[in-house]
Amino acid sequence: MSSRFALMIVPTDVSDERGDFADTFTVVDASAPALSVGELSTQRGDGVFESIGVVDGHAQEVEPHLQRLAHSAKLCDLPAPNLAQWRHAVSRAAAECGPGESVIKLILSRGVEHGPTPTAWVTAAPAPDFTAVRRNGVRVVTLDRGYDLGAAERAPWLLLGAKTLSYAVNMAALREARRRGADDAIFVTSDGYVLEAPTASLIIRSGDRFLTPAPSGGILHGTTQLSVYEHLEKQGLQADYGTLSASDLAKADAAWLVSSVRLAVAVTAVDGAPMPTDAEFTASLNAYLLSPR
């Protein structure tokens, strides 16, 4: 796939159970203007999205992504997406993806200001080449997220468990990490607990046990993390959720950031302190994540 593909969607009600939604999709030129200047996704970041990895034309983990899209929409008081319609849209976009790795993005916006319906679209494009970072890993810094571990329950309007289009803070965190000589960041709460990376979930290994921060702490529940856990459990390995402190991260035997497109990358240093790595295990994780799922 050498170019981008874009598909605009006319959202249908969840009660619409037709077998073919082709007449609700419009293929548009991905390089041409397609959104109104009144679109709230661009004006306010008022919407939700998902990024789905595609390997050799096969969209990975479609159902978990669709379920999370619906969950994010609910948290944001957006109309419930018709998942059958979105499933068809993903299939249509995946058909445009050739050999190698691509990424499909699903976007559901509140629409045009004062408009009657949401705006929805899907794009597909070649994925960046993450071969080197999967092999070499990343150095991370810990950054204060600015709230304590109980904030998600105490203040649901912060939308901490939703994958929203409001990613300015996440991008600012990545720029700050680079200013500090690192490649990525891991957010920690103001009371010292580990959350997630700006665009990835965190998994650590402590002895024979794998741990990830519990999503009840306002963490976006990672689809790739869920898939990795299923893979680990099938191998008879222990994979749990927990409340992890910054010191737990520093003392870990190994750590990975996992996400749908970059896949699994080892953490090689935390705040300048070297972290043990396991190149063979990282390679095996990526071999699994590149297989059809």
Tens digit of each residue's pLDDT (9 = 90 or more) over 43-58: 999 999 999 999 999 9
pLDDT of residue 157: 92
Tens digit of each residue's pLDDT (9 = 90 or more) over 167-186: 999 999 999 999 999 999 99
Shared domain for 101 and 167, answered yes or no, is: no
193 and 212 both lie in a single domain:
yes
CATH label of the domain that carries residue 67: 3.30.470.10
- 200 φ, ψ to 5°? -155, 160
Domain that holds residue 90: 5-126
Same domain assignment for residues 122 and 49: yes
CA–CA distance, 215 with 208 (Å, rounded to integer):
22
| Same domain membership, residue 58 and residue 145 | no
Q: What integer pLDDT is reported at residue 247 of this predicted model?
A: 93
pLDDT tier for residue 1 given thresholds of 50, 70 and 90: low
First and final CA of the chain: distance in angstroms? 21
- Whether residues 96 and 169 share a domain: the answer is no
Q: What is the mean pLDDT of the chain?
A: 95
Q: Rounded mean pLDDT of 82-94?
A: 97
Any residues with CB less than 8 A from the CB of 29 and at least 6 apart, and which? 6
Last residue in a domain, options 76, 97, 126 = 126
Tally the domains of the chain: 2
CATH code for the domain of 194:
3.20.10.10
Cα angle, residue 50 at apex, residues 45 and 53 outer, rounded to 5°: 140
Q: Give yes or no: residues 285 and 144 share one domain.
A: yes
Average pLDDT score over residue span 79-105: 97
Alpha helices in the chain (DSSP H): 40-44, 62-75, 83-94, 131-136, 151-154, 168-179, 223-234, 246-251, 279-289
Do 136 and 112 share a domain, yes or no? no
Residues 48 and 178 in one domain: no
Say yes or no: 276 and 149 in one domain: yes
- Confidence band for 258, pLDDT divided at 50, 70 and 90: very high
The DSSP code for 78 is: P
From 126, 151, 172, the end of a domain falls on: 126
Q: What is the mean pLDDT of residues 177-198?
A: 97
Position 211 pLDDT exceeds 80: yes
Q: Do 143 and 186 share a structural domain?
A: yes
- Do both 160 and 33 map to the same domain? no
pLDDT in tens, 142-174: 999 999 999 999 999 999 999 999 999 999 999
Domain C-terminal end among 126, 147, 172: 126
Q: Region 76-88: what's the mean pLDDT?
A: 97
> Do 90 and 172 share a structural domain?
no
- Residue from 184, 158, 17 nearest 85 by CA: 17
pLDDT of residue 19: 87
pLDDT of residue 218: 81
